[in-house]
Each structure stands twice: as C-alpha cells, then as structure tokens.
C-alpha cells in the first residue's frame, strides 16, 4: 500500500463537497486522508435550489451531506474554520482559530462572493445579498418589517432573488443596469418577452437604470436615485449584481491570479503551485470563470483524479482534463421557463438564426445555426422550453440538423422532427450537472438497475438541477423496453392492471359492480387494496349510492359506516360546513348533539367541527338530528372532495378584492362528495395576503383585482408541497371550467392513493403538459372531461340522508347482530372537561356478576375514575 | 367431554354477503357462570367459499379494539382473510393467524341449521 496522502479541501460548497465525494469514491483503497475546512457553520448544501428555502424547504432539506456521512467516509471536517494562511514551502494552512493543517495536496474551492456595486448608501442595514443560508435568514428578518423590496441586478440570480422577495410577500422590483434582463443567457427579443412575463406576475422591472445613491425615503425606508433622475422607494435592497471569485488567499500567498480576479488554473485544475488546485467559481480557466455547478463538478472530478493518479503513479491513457464547459442552462424563473443553449447571441462568424415569437401565448424561441445550416450553435427559449433537451443534444453531439431547422421550434403544424432516446449516441450527455452520458445509463441498466430510481442511485444522474429528469426517464424506459423488461403496475394479486387501466375497463365496458369486474378481469376474492380502489372508481364513474348491497363490501370501514374510525373503534362525525360559513343556529345544533351524545369536539384544519367518540350504533341517531337541522355529510371519511377553506373576503375584509366566501361555497357545493384516487382539498383566498392558505391545497384559488388565480396540485400533510400557479386572472366561468377539467383528468388517470401533487409530477411533461391538456385542449378531451364532471355532479346525494331513510342500510349500524348491548371495551375518561378514550391501564374489566349484570354502572365508574 | 356447545346466533339473512357482522356470546365458555366474560365473535359470509360462514374473535389483538367484523374481507394467495379496519393487518379466516405480524385470534366452527347460523363456542 502507498504512503498516506493528506489532501486538504478548503471550502465546503457544492463543488468542494463534490471533490470530497470524488476523492472518497476514487481513493478509498489508496490510503488518502481527507480534511475539509469550511468557513460557514454548516456543511455543504444545495445553493442551486436556495430559493426553495422560502417555499418551505429547511436547511436540512437543502443539505448535501451531514456529519454522519463524513464520519463514515472518515473525512476530518471542521466548520467555522476559515483559512487565513497558506505556507506553500511547509505545505501547511492556518485557520482563523489558529489551527494548522499539513497537506500534501491542497484544493481551493472557496467559491465566490456577491459583488456589491460601490453605491453610496449601499451599506445600510437593510441592504443585503443573496448567497448563503445565513443571507436568507437576514432577508427573511428584514422582509418581516418591510413592504417593498428591490433587487439590484436582473440576471439569473437576481430573478431568483426577486422570486424569493415575492414569496415573502413584498411588492417586488428588479432594477437592471443593462437594457434587458438576463443579458448573458438570452438575446434582446427573449429579454423583452421575459420582462413582460415577469411583470405579469406582479414584479416591476426597471431596465437601463443605473443606481447612483441609496438615501432615506419618504414612503419607505430608502429611496434609490437613478442616473436619469428618476427614483424608486423601497424598504429592502438586495444586491445581485454578479459574483466575484473568492481569491484573496491566492492574492495574499502569491498564486497567479487573472487580471480581473480568479485563481489561474490549467487543464488539471492546478494553480501556479504544483501542490495546489483550485476548482469551481474561484478558478479561472482561460480567462473564464464558470459560474455554474456543472463545470465546477467536472473540475472537482479532474482535480481528484489527478491527485490520485499522481499518488499511485498511474499513467492514465487519457487523463481527464478540464477544457472549458458548455454553459447551456434551462430553468424556471418565477414560473417562467427560460432556456439558453451555446451561442445564444449568434456571435459565431457567419451564424444564421431562425426566430419564432408568439406574443399572445408569451413564447419566444430562437435557434442559431452554422453558415451551412447543418449544425446547431445555440438557442434561446422563453415561455416554453419543451424543445430544450432535443436542441441541446443537437448542439452537444453535432447531430446534423433536419432540412428545415425551423421546424424544431415552430408549433407542431404537422410532424415535428423529434429526437428520441434511441437516436442519441452513447456519448450524449444526459445529465450535464453530474456529467452522466447515455452510455453510463446503459451500463447501469446492464448492471441490473431496472427503474429510474435505481439509475439515479448508481449514476447520480438528475440529482443536480433535475432539469434532465424527463429525458432520463425516457432513456431508462427505452433501454428497459429494449431489453424486454415490462414495468409492472398491477395494483394487487387480484388484478393485473393499474388503477388507470381499471378505470378505462370499467368505463368502456359499463361495469357497475366488483363481482362483474373480478369475474371478467381479475381473480380470487379481492382484498383491502383492490376493493376500495374499485369502489372509488365505480363511485367516480357512476356516483351511485355507495352502500348498495353490491358496493357495500367494497368500502373501507370509514366509507362503510360513513364516519372516521378512531383508535378505540368509535367514530368521529363531521358535518359539512361549506366554505367554513356556519349560522349560529347550526353551531348550536352541533353543540347540542355533541352534548347529548357526550362527544368530544374539536375544530378541524378545514374549518369544520369534528365530533369524536360516537359508537357505531349511535351514528344513525346523531345524523338524524344533524340532518333535521339542515346539515349534510362532510365526506370526511372518503377519498373524496373534503373542504373548501376560505377567508372572509371582500364582504368584510378591508383588503379583500373578491368575494371568496361565495366562491368557496359555490365550489364546495359543486364538487362535494366526488370520489377521487385520494382526498381533495380546496381553498379560496380573497386577496394575495392568502389567509386561506390556498397554495397548500390540491386546488387553490386566490383573488386578484381582475379575477382569480388558480393554483393546482399542492398539499400539506406528510410531504408538503406548494401548489403551482396554473392560470391567472380567470373569470368565474373559466375558473370552474379549468377545475372541472383538471379534476376529471386526475380522477381518470391518477394512481390509487396518489395525491394530485405526485400525480402531476408523474405526468410526462408535468405542469406544462397539464396546462396544454386543460387550457389548450391539446388532446381534444376538454369537453369530455367537463361532461364527465357534470354527470357526477348531477348525481350528488347526501349519503347519510339516504342511509337513515333506508331500514336495510341501517341494520349495519349496530355492534351486535343478536343483542342491543354495548361494547364494554369502549371506555372514556375525562380530560379538560371532555372525554377521551381510556388507556389500557385506565380501563375497568367488565365481568358479568350475574346474567343481568349491569355493565352501564361500570362504565360510569370508569368515567369518574379520572 | 368438551364444554363447548353450539350456540344459535342469528338467521342467515342477518349476515351481510362478503362482509361481516358481530355477535355477542354471553358468558358462554365459563365453568363458573358468576364471573364469565362476554365474548364478541365476528361472522363473515363468503358465499363463494365452501365454508360459507367463518367465525373468529372480534377483538383485534394489534389495535386492541372490538372491530374485526368491520374489516374488509378478501383473499391472500387463496387464503380467505379479513383486514383489520384499524391498521390493515390481515387475519386468516381459516386459522386466525395474522399474515403480517405475530398475532393470532381464535376461530370457531360454524354451521347452518334451518336458516339459523350456529357457532361452536
């Protein structure tokens, strides 16, 4: 075994961490000791997705590693360990705390810092930058006492930062010195459209503005004064005017740096000192700083390989070199898709371009091709990046363009030349962040990976920015298909079909019962998986009474007894309270019922009242009284439309711009009780303050001064997800039309127990595809979906009303078929003036003292015990 | 000689096909009628099986509540089962064995005499 080699990595950003990972993976058998020195107080985290910190992700969610992992890898790591000295002769570094670490090889991955232009007044308390989690915390704090925020800088990061301010509820402005947004990535035409789209989303954009001074404001905390004499008031200023390499160590300790900064490196990522490497945003290769994560990862890999190859005297045939990187990028900025590929500005001599612009739809596309029109040199996509993957492959792999290259970006009038996964060469890069080629994916599949998740785990593909996930799935599926692998989607042993297939079978064949279906398309008796699934589909398709003799055995106990079973076998009862609006009379009735039946009451998260502790035999009586008072079932027991939460809206609220309560009640009454693959929750907010928390619902509606914004596919629960903005400023009719369509499409195509969020993420093409289907009616099924909805809506019934009118159905609601006694195992004790189930040790053993033993007495005794 | 005896529970029409009901057997197994515990028995009607009616304890030993009769019936690899409505573990209707965890419920022979459902307790 070779001698131990000490490698010290300075910096634990994404790239520094990648270097550690590479050293660990490649050097595990070569006696390499790795030390990591991080200036921040936490280990590496994902800076690419930093803005998600404001949409609910925590620092832990963003973490790329943790202490346990580094310990497993035997990495010696130190946080708050900013390096302040390098001794190149003695090969030692010193941290700010005075600790000294010796190295054989040193990797500088110090990254960059945000450039703050020297504007007078730019150093005040609420003038901040956007780079680290600490920065985000400062922004959050400042935003909490601010109303208006300005981002100085309209580049990629500036727009990300503007999105963050908007999410924090500030009136947001972007101030850009250049005449357009994102001048590096998109051309003037794309920039213009981008500006329009971003302004539509409520962010004011000011281009061609040079800020000269930040002084005290009148309405707000500060006032920005521009060179043209105009001014803008704001409470918070966020600088995002580019990055500068963090190269001060190199400056102080005499490593060669570039004229405008950056540590000069060669193809091995070596600096002017043969034992010191520099990688990522602090490194300058051929006068270029690569400010994206993908080139940084490549540099990390190059440096790690070079260190190990030298250490074990391995002369590789083709040692890995860093020779620059493709800076193409695809991203979503505030919901606007932007893609930039290669020579986006058409600066290559002789380059020609094709352009397509659709202003009404807000789409701009341009491709730049070589003089002979054979090769793609670059592209700009704004508003629609669906062709990004294909175009990138054309460019990266020098694939010859079709005869009429414009067909690649024109809307599909006829056959669009597509570049399928099969057409890609094995050298094609699928994931540019992690540099995974199609060949790597084929190797993984050959090595036994048989799902996208497997391939991700062993190649790391699509674990960076995630932009390639659709293409990755495509390649994996194709490769599996080529090997004759069939992906099983059977819901259980009784049906060799997915929920979606069963849905089609039931609908097309007009099947109305489980027996009919299992006889024709399944086997056995069914189980607790397929029965409720089929029950739910039958309900979605036909919406008949769910306790018919034929459907009753299909329902899970909650549906079966039209109530929610609790841990002790009792049930909870939830009357519907549409939109959360309830009269005092009904509140009194609920209170009286709860009192009479000694039920525990609690307000739910969906603006209703939950009554707990009802015995199965009490349910019909309880419901008779509730129905008598005009109430109906809340379907809290079903995988069905539950509640539509609302704020009080413009009727009462000083800020409301629409009547959110009326809309919520309308929506709730329209969709109540409709069965779906999973429960569905709605909310309607009367203004952008969003008091109804609509963005955490499957369907969220937020009032604007022009109508309604519709958000879809959000949820709270185990894995919370914010809903995506689906359409803006809709009138009432269009809003309902879109909800109808999305809901019918979900009911038809969703998997068993799949919530809308997961459903949409699994739709190929995701949100964009859903928009096409619903808004543009790309499949031509819009009307069918609406009809389907109106059919089920027309058959609504209050299941409890039907049940209490049906003596046969009522027979189910008893504990014993042969006795009117009660279940003595159900016992309660008092807590805070209400009942709760008795715990095991609190229960009284009930025995029959004699044939006529009075168990009631024991029960009351138990109640008093506590 | 066994202490067990056939108990008349209900009529066949009181059962619900492909679903369950619960019967209360009062102090039936006791040697001493003064301290006997009542027993809850879940009865399932599966018309497509040769046994037709299965009887097991109603008490779910995992969820610790008298609820098994409200579970969903079906089969697992041909074995007739009921899935507990609380935490969904399956219990064999033939043996009472839980198929997912270490747990067991009692099973009881049943017979139908002149439209009456009887259980041997």
Q: What DSSP letter does each residue of A94-140 carry, written as one string? A: EETT--EEE-SEEEE---EEE-----TTTTSTTEEE-SSHHHHHHHH
Spatial neighbors of A687 by CB under 8 A, at least 6 apart, are A650, A653, A655, A656, A657, A658, A702, A703
Spatial neighbors of A681 by CB under 8 A, at least 6 apart, are A606, A642, A643, A645, A697, A698, A699, A715, A716
Of B18, B38, B71, the CB nearest to A848: B38
Confidence at residue A487, expressed as pLDDT on a 0 to 100 scale: 55
> Which residue, among A495, A526, A530, A823, would best test binding to B if mutated, counting the most B CBs under 10 Å from its CB?
A823
**Nearest C-alpha in A relative to B89:** A528
Q: Give the lowest-confidence range in A252-266, A277-291, A316-330, A766-780.
A: A316-330
Instruction: Check CB contact of B13 with chain A, cutoff 8 Å.
Output: no
Domain hosting B23: range is 6-112
Contact B72 A531 (CB under 8 A): yes
A58 and A49 Cβ atoms separated by less than 8 Å: no
pLDDT reading at A253 higher than 50: yes
Between CA A597 and CA A842 the distance in angstroms is 22
Q: What confidence category does residue A547 fall into, taking pLDDT thresholds of 50, 70 and 90? A: low
Q: How do A571-573 and A564-565 pair as beta strands?
A: antiparallel
Confidence at residue A846, expressed as pLDDT on a 0 to 100 scale: 60
Nearest-CA distance A684 → chain B (Å): 34
Confidence at residue A318, expressed as pLDDT on a 0 to 100 scale: 53
Spatial neighbors of A558 by CB under 8 A, at least 6 apart, are A564, A565, A637, A638
Distance, C-alpha A47 to centroid of its chain: 16
Q: How do B20-25 and B39-45 pair as beta strands?
A: antiparallel
Residue A258 or residue A853, greater confidence: A258
Task: Work out the average pLDDT over B60-87.
Answer: 91
Confidence at residue A420, expressed as pLDDT on a 0 to 100 scale: 62
pLDDT reading at A417 higher than 60: no
H or E stretch covering B107: strand B107-108
Confidence at residue B34, expressed as pLDDT on a 0 to 100 scale: 47
Question: Hey, what are A255's tokens?
Answer: 């490593």
Confidence at residue A707, expressed as pLDDT on a 0 to 100 scale: 94
Spatial neighbors of A847 by CB under 8 A, at least 6 apart, are A853, B35, B36, B37
pLDDT reading at A775 higher than 90: yes
Q: How far apart are the first and last CA of chain B?
A: 14
Between CA A172 and CA A315 the distance in angstroms is 56
pLDDT reading at A854 higher than 60: no
Nearest-CA distance A794 → chain B (Å): 30
Please give the interface size between A and B, counted as residue pairs whose CB atoms are below 8 Å apart: 121
Confidence at residue A316, expressed as pLDDT on a 0 to 100 scale: 55
Between CA A261 and CA A244 the distance in angstroms is 8
Confidence at residue B49, expressed as pLDDT on a 0 to 100 scale: 82
Task: Work out the average pLDDT over A184-210.
Answer: 90
Confidence at residue A315, expressed as pLDDT on a 0 to 100 scale: 58
Between CA A737 and CA A565 the distance in angstroms is 35
pLDDT reading at B31 higher than 70: no
Q: Give the lowest-confidence range in A214-218, A305-309, A419-423.
A: A419-423
Where do we find the tokens 């006889």? A519
For residue B121, being part of any structural domain is answered with no
Instruction: Check CB contact of B109 with chain A, cutoff 8 Å.
Output: no
Total count of domains within chain B: 1
Confidence at residue A582, expressed as pLDDT on a 0 to 100 scale: 95
Q: Which CATH number does the domain housing residue B89 bear?
A: 2.102.10.10
| Chain B partners within 8 Å of A536 (Cβ) | none
Task: Work out the average pLDDT over A263-276.
Answer: 94
For residue B13, being part of any structural domain is answered with yes
pLDDT reading at A110 higher than 70: yes
Confidence at residue B54, expressed as pLDDT on a 0 to 100 scale: 95
Confidence at residue A466, expressed as pLDDT on a 0 to 100 scale: 64
Between CA A766 and CA A335 the distance in angstroms is 13
Between CA B24 and CA A818 the distance in angstroms is 7
| Chain A partners within 8 Å of B17 (Cβ) | 549, 553
Task: Work out the average pLDDT over A15-35.
Answer: 88
Between CA A136 and CA A164 the distance in angstroms is 9
Residues from A in contact with B at Cβ < 8 Å: 493-494, 524-528, 530-532, 549, 552-553, 556-557, 560-561, 565, 567-569, 616, 811-812, 815-819, 821, 823-826, 840, 846-851
Distances in Å between the Cα of B85 and the Cα atoms of A401, A511, A612, A640, B94 are 61, 27, 17, 19, 19
Q: What confidence category does residue A299 fall into, taking pLDDT thresholds of 50, 70 and 90? A: very high
Q: What is the mean pLDDT of chain A?
A: 87
| Chain B partners within 8 Å of A556 (Cβ) | 72, 85
Task: Work out the average pLDDT over A652-669.
Answer: 94
Residue B49 or residue A586, greater confidence: A586
For residue B118, being part of any structural domain is answered with no
Confidence at residue A2, expressed as pLDDT on a 0 to 100 scale: 59
Residue A855 burial by Cβ neighbours in a 10 Å radius (0-12, 13-18, 19+): middle
> Which residue, among B24, B39, B92, would best test binding to A if mutated, counting the most A CBs under 10 Å from its CB?
B24
For residue B43, being part of any structural domain is answered with yes
pLDDT reading at A495 higher than 80: yes
Q: What confidence category does residue A860 fall into, taking pLDDT thresholds of 50, 70 and 90? A: very low
Contact A528 B43 (CB under 8 A): no
Q: How do A699-704 and A680-685 pair as beta strands?
A: parallel
Q: What confidence category does residue A577 fall into, taking pLDDT thresholds of 50, 70 and 90? A: very high
Of B14, B63, B74, the CB nearest to A526: B74
Task: Work out the average pLDDT over A251-266.
Answer: 91
pLDDT reading at A552 higher than 60: yes
For residue B1, being part of any structural domain is answered with no
Closest CA to A127 of A221, A227, A243: A221
H or E stretch covering A19: helix A14-27
A271 and A130 Cβ atoms separated by less than 8 Å: no
Q: What confidence category does residue A358 fall into, taking pLDDT thresholds of 50, 70 and 90? A: confident
Task: Work out the average pLDDT over A368-375.
Answer: 90
Q: Give the lowest-confidence range in A161-165, A541-545, B3-7.
A: A541-545
pLDDT reading at A133 higher than 80: yes
Confidence at residue A646, expressed as pLDDT on a 0 to 100 scale: 96
| Chain B partners within 8 Å of A840 (Cβ) | 64
A662 and A647 Cβ atoms separated by less than 8 Å: no
Torsion of CA A71, A76, A78, A81, to 10 degrees: -160
Q: Give the lowest-confidence range in A118-122, A454-458, A493-497, A814-818.
A: A454-458
Q: What is residue A285's DSSP assignment?
A: B
Q: How do B72-76 and B79-83 pair as beta strands?
A: antiparallel
Confidence at residue A708, expressed as pLDDT on a 0 to 100 scale: 96
| Chain A partners within 8 Å of B14 (Cβ) | 811, 817-818
Q: Give the lowest-confidence range in A158-162, A336-340, A475-479.
A: A475-479
Q: What confidence category does residue A540 fall into, taking pLDDT thresholds of 50, 70 and 90? A: confident
Sheet-wide strand order for A724-730 = A641-646, A680-685, A699-704, A707-712, A724-730
Distance, C-alpha A264 to centroid of its chain: 38
Q: Give the lowest-confidence range in A469-478, A792-801, B41-50.
A: A469-478
Q: How do A436-437 and A429-431 pair as beta strands?
A: antiparallel
Q: What is residue A525's DSSP assignment?
A: S
Helix axes A452-459, A438-446, angle to 10 degrees: 110
Strand partners, A273: none
Confidence at residue A830, expressed as pLDDT on a 0 to 100 scale: 92
| Chain B partners within 8 Å of A823 (Cβ) | 40, 66
Distance, C-alpha A344 to centroid of its chain: 29
Confidence at residue A866, expressed as pLDDT on a 0 to 100 scale: 35
Task: Work out the average pLDDT over A802-825.
Answer: 88
> pLDDT per residue over A742-767, tens digit each?
999 999 888 877 889 888 887 777 88
Contact A815 B22 (CB under 8 A): yes
Confidence at residue A778, expressed as pLDDT on a 0 to 100 scale: 83
Contact A553 B17 (CB under 8 A): yes
Where do we find the tokens 């709270």? A716
A575 and A608 Cβ atoms separated by less than 8 Å: yes
pLDDT reading at A861 higher than 60: no
A172 and A202 Cβ atoms separated by less than 8 Å: yes
| Chain B partners within 8 Å of A812 (Cβ) | 16
Of all residues in chain A, the percent with pLDDT exceeding 90 is 44
Instruction: Check CB contact of B88 with chain A, cutoff 8 Å.
Output: yes
For residue B79, being part of any structural domain is answered with yes
Q: What is residue A486's DSSP assignment?
A: -
Nearest-CA distance B112 → chain A (Å): 16
Confidence at residue A729, expressed as pLDDT on a 0 to 100 scale: 93
Distances in Å between the Cα of A577 and the Cα atoms of A455, A687, A705 are 48, 22, 27
Between CA A90 and CA A79 the distance in angstroms is 24
Helix axes A514-521, A499-508, angle to 10 degrees: 110
Question: Hey, what are A522's tokens?
Answer: 């399944």
pLDDT reading at A853 higher than 50: no
Strand partners, B45: B17, B53
For residue B119, being part of any structural domain is answered with no
Task: Work out the average pLDDT over A812-829.
Answer: 90
Provide DSSP, B72-85.
EEEEETTEEEEE-T
pLDDT reading at A378 higher than 90: yes
Closest CA to A225 of A357, A371, A85, A122: A122
Spatial neighbors of A348 by CB under 8 A, at least 6 apart, are A368, A370, A377, A378
Provide DSSP, B31-93.
SSTTTPPPEEEEEEE-TTSTT-EEEEESEETTTTEE-GGGSEEEEETTEEEEE-TTT--EEET
Confidence at residue A858, expressed as pLDDT on a 0 to 100 scale: 43
Contact B70 A565 (CB under 8 A): yes
Contact B65 A528 (CB under 8 A): no
**Nearest C-alpha in B relative to A821:** B24
Distances in Å between the Cα of A788 and the Cα atoms of A136, A293, A639, A675 are 46, 47, 18, 13
Contact B70 A561 (CB under 8 A): yes
Closest CA to A438 of A482, A382, A372, A504: A482
Question: Hey, what are A409's tokens?
Answer: 């970006």
Q: What is residue B112's DSSP assignment?
A: E
A306 and A269 Cβ atoms separated by less than 8 Å: yes
Q: Give the lowest-confidence range in A180-189, A238-247, A323-332.
A: A323-332
Confidence at residue A419, expressed as pLDDT on a 0 to 100 scale: 59
Between CA B89 and CA B65 the distance in angstroms is 14
Task: Work out the average pLDDT over A137-146.
Answer: 92
| Chain A partners within 8 Å of B43 (Cβ) | 817
**Nearest C-alpha in B relative to A560:** B70
Provide DSSP, A403-430.
SSGGGGTS--SSPPP---GGGS-TT-EE
Contact B21 A549 (CB under 8 A): no
Between CA A440 and CA B3 the distance in angstroms is 72
What are the φ/ψ torsions at residue A788 (nearest 5 degrees)?
A: -60, -40
Residue A92 burial by Cβ neighbours in a 10 Å radius (0-12, 13-18, 19+): middle
Task: Work out the average pLDDT over A507-517.
Answer: 86
For residue B68, being part of any structural domain is answered with yes
Nearest-CA distance A758 → chain B (Å): 24
Question: Hey, what are A716's tokens?
Answer: 């709270």
| Chain B partners within 8 Å of A850 (Cβ) | 34
Confidence at residue A857, expressed as pLDDT on a 0 to 100 scale: 43
Between CA A664 and CA A678 the distance in angstroms is 20
């Amino acid at each position: 075994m070779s001698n131990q080699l000490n490698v010290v990595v300075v910096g634990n950003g994404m790239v520094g961490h990648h270097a550690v990972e590479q050293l660990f993976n490649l050097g595990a058998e070569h006696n390499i000791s790795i030390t990591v020195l991080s200036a921040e107080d936490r280990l590496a985290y994902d800076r690419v997705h930093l803005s998600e910190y404001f949409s609910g992700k925590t620092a832990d969610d963003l973490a790329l590693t943790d202490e346990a992992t580094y310990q497993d890898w035997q990495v010696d790591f130190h946080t708050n360990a900013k390096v302040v000295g390098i001794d190149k002769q003695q090969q030692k570094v010193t941290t700010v705390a005075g600790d000294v670490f010796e190295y054989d090889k040193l990797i500088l991955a110090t990254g960059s810092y945000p450039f703050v232009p020297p504007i007078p007044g730019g150093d005040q308390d609420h003038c901040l930058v956007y780079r680290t989690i600490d920065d985000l915390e400062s922004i959050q704090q400042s935003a909490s006492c601010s109303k208006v925020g300005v981002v100085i800088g309209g580049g990629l990061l500036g727009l990300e930062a503007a999105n963050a301010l908007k999410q924090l509820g500030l009136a947001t402005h972007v101030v850009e010195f250049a005449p357009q947004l994102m001048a590096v990535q998109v051309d003037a035409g794309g920039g213009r459209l981008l500006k329009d789209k971003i302004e539509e989303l409520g962010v004011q954009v000011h281009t061609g503005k040079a800020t000269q001074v930040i002084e005290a404001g009148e309405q707000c905390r500060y006032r920005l004064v521009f060179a043209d004499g105009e001014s803008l008031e704001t409470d918070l200023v966020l600088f995002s005017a580019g990055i500068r390499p963090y190269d001060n160590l190199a400056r102080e300790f005499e490593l060669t740096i570039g004229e405008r900064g950056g540590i000069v490196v060669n193809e091995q990522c070596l600096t002017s000192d043969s034992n010191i490497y520099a990688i990522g945003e602090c490194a300058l290769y051929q006068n270029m700083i690569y400010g994206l994560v993908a080139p940084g990862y490549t540099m990390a890999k190059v440096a790690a390989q070079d260190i190990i190859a030298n250490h074990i005297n391995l002369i590789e045939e083709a040692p890995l070199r860093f020779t620059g990187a493709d800076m193409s990028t695809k991203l979503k900025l505030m919901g606007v898709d932007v893609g930039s590929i290669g020579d986006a500005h058409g600066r290559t001599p002789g380059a020609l371009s094709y352009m397509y612009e659709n202003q009404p739809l807000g789409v701009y596309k341009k491709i730049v091709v070589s003089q002979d029109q054979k090769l793609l040199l670059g592209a700009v996509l704004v508003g629609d990046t669906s062709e990004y993957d294909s175009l990138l492959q054309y460019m990266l792999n020098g694939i010859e363009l079709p005869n009429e290259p414009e067909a690649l970006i024109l809307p599909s009038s006829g056959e669009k030349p597509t570049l399928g996964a099969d057409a890609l060469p094995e050298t094609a890069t699928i994931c540019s962040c992690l540099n995974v080629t199609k060949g790597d994916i084929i190797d993984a599949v050959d090595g036994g990976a048989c799902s996208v998740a497997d391939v991700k785990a062993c190649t790391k593909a699509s674990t960076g920015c995630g932009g390639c996930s659709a293409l990755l799935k495509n390649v994996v599926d194709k490769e599996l298909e080529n090997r004759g692998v069939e992906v099983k989607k059977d819901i259980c042993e009784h049906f060799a079909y997915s929920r979606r297939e069963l849905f089609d079978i039931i609908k097309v064949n007009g099947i109305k019962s489980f027996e009919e279906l299992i006889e024709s398309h399944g086997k056995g008796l069914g189980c607790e998986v397929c029965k409720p699934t089929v029950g739910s589909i039958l309900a979605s398709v036909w919406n008949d009474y769910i306790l018919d003799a034929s459907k009753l055995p299909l329902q899970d106990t909650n549906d079966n007894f039209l109530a929610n079973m609790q841990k002790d076998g009792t049930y909870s009862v939830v009357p519907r309270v549409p939109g959360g609006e309830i009269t005092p009379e009904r509140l009194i009735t609920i209170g009286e019922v709860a009192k009479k039946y000694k039920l525990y009451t609690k307000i739910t998260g969906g603006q209703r009242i939950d009554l707990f502790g009802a015995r199965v035999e009490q349910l019909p009586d309880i419901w008779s009284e509730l129905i008598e008072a005009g109430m109906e079932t809340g379907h809290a027991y079903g995988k069905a439309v539950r509640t539509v939460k609302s704020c009080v809206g413009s009727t009462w609220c000083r800020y409301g711009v629409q009547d959110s309560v009326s809309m919520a009640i309308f929506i709730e009454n329209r969709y109540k009780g409709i069965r779906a693959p999973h429960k569905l929750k709605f909310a309607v907010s009367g203004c952008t303050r969003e008091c109804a928390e609509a963005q955490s619902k499957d369907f969220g509606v937020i009032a604007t001064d022009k109508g309604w914004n519709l958000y879809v596919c959000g949820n709270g629960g185990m894995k919370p997800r914010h809903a995506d903005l689906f359409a803006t400023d809709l009138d009432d009719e269009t809003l309902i039309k879109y909800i109808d369509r999305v809901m019918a499409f979900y009911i038809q195509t969703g998997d068993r127990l799949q919530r809308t969020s997961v459903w949409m993420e699994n739709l190929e093409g995701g949100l964009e595809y859903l928009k096409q289907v619903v808004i543009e009616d790309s499949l031509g099924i819009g009307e069918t979906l609406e009809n389907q909805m109106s059919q089920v809506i027309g058959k609504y019934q209050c299941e409890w009303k039907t049940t209490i009118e049906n003596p046969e159905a009522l027979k189910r609601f008893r504990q014993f078929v042969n006795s009117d006694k009660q279940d003595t195992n159900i016992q309660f004790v008092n807590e805070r003036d209400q009942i709760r189930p008795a715990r095991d040790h609190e229960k009284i053993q009930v025995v029959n003292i004699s044939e006529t033993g009075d168990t009631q007495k024991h029960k009351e005794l138990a109640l008093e015990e506590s | 000689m066994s202490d067990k005896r056939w108990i008349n529970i209900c009529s066949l029409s009181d059962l619900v096909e492909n679903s369950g009901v619960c019967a209360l057997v009062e102090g039936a197994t006791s040697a001493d009628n003064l301290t006997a515990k009542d027993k809850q028995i879940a009865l399932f009607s599966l018309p497509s099986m040769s046994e037709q009616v299965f009887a097991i304890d109603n008490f779910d030993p995992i969820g610790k509540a008298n609820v098994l009769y409200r579970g969903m019936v079906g089969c697992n690899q041909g074995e007739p089962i009921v899935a507990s409505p609380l935490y969904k573990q399956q219990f064999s209707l033939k043996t009472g064995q839980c198929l997912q965890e270490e747990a067991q419920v009692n099973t009881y022979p049943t017979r139908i005499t002149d439209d009456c459902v009887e259980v041997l307790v």
